[in-house]
């Protein structure tokens, strides 16, 4: 039943070491509730937990029992373990030495170049991929590439015209460009080769 003392433990001074954990779990529950566009009252009706208690849980003022977490997880169609996803400290580091990285080759009618994936992140929210790109021939252009997310380009060597939708930007060493990749984009004209630039892609990671 809602508000049953066995379903939840209220935080006390003796539990202060667990406040970080409770806050993280509460934020995760609130995020899932808002994602499903549920009001606290509606979530209470689905779980049998009182709105007041749900509010305490979401604000990190109460530690839900395992049975309460199971009820919430069932409503959100996630695992109980996933409710603790943001509670564990992260140390996600990717180190790549100069000249290393995963080499990827792209070839096509007018494309024949290589670029290196410089890092990888397991962040559950953001899909971020840094690349080192080198174009060696003036024919290595691809100005109508389309993708999702936001891209950042930092020019390191050479000179090129880079298309972003209906605009074209001339990039020289030291220049930077950030743009939405939904519109056609990419190197349109290589003026001085080899062209070398750092390219970083950032996008929201999809969740099943």
Q: pLDDT digit string (tens) for 157-180?
A: 999 999 988 899 999 999 999 988
Q: Two tokens at 27?
A: 């934020």
- Asked if 206 and 188 count as a contact pair (C-beta separation under 8 A), the reply is no
Q: What are the start and end residues of each CATH 1.10.260.40 domain in the chain? A: 7-84
Report pLDDT digits (tens) over 127-153: 888 888 889 888 888 878 888 888 999
Architecture label for domain 7-84 = Orthogonal Bundle (1.10)
Residue 161: what pLDDT? 95
Is 70 exceeded by the pLDDT of residue 188? yes
| DSSP-derived secondary structure letter, 70 | H
Q: Which CATH class is domain 102-204?
A: mainly beta
Name the DSSP letter for residue 6: G
Mean pLDDT of the chain: 78
- DSSP-based three-state secondary structure for 150: strand
Encode pLDDT of 27-48 as tens digits.
889 888 998 889 999 999 999 9
3-state secondary structure of 89: coil
Q: Which whole-number Å values give the CA distances from 112 to 24, 116, 137, in the listed order? A: 47, 14, 8
Q: Where in the chain is the domain with CATH 2.60.120.10?
A: 102-204
* Percentage of the chain exceeding pLDDT 70: 73
14 to 5, 59, 91, 114: CA distances (angstroms): 18, 18, 28, 58
Nearest partner of 173 among 185, 186, 146, 191, judged by Cα: 191
Q: Please tell me the pTM assigned to this model.
A: 0.50
Q: Are 176 and 153 in contact (CB under 8 A)?
A: yes
Reading the block at residue 201, the tokens are: 């892609």
């Amino acid at each position: 039943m809602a508000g049953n003392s066995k379903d939840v433990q209220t935080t006390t001074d003796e539990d202060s070491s667990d406040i970080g954990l409770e806050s993280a779990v509460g934020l995760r529950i609130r995020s899932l509730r808002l994602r499903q566009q549920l009001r606290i009252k509606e979530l209470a009706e689905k779980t049998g937990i009182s709105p007041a208690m749900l509010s305490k849980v979401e604000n990190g003022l109460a530690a839900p029992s395992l049975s309460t977490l199971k009820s919430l997880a069932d409503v959100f169609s996630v695992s109980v373990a996933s409710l603790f996803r943001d509670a564990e400290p992260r140390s996600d580091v990717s180190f790549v030495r100069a000249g290393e990285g995963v080499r990827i080759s792209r070839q096509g009618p007018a494309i024949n170049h290589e670029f290196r994936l410089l890092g990888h992140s397991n962040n559950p929210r953001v899909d971020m991929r840094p690349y080192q790109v080198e174009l060696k021939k003036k024919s290595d252009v691809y100005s109508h590439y389309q993708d999702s997310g936001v891209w950042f380009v930092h020019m390191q060597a050479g000179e090129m015209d880079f298309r972003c939708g209906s605009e074209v930007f001339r990039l020289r060493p030291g220049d930077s460009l950030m743009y939405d990749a939904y519109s056609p984009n990419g190197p349109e004209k290589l003026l001085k080769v080899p062209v070398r630039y750092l390219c970083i892609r950032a996008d929201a990671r999809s969740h099943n």
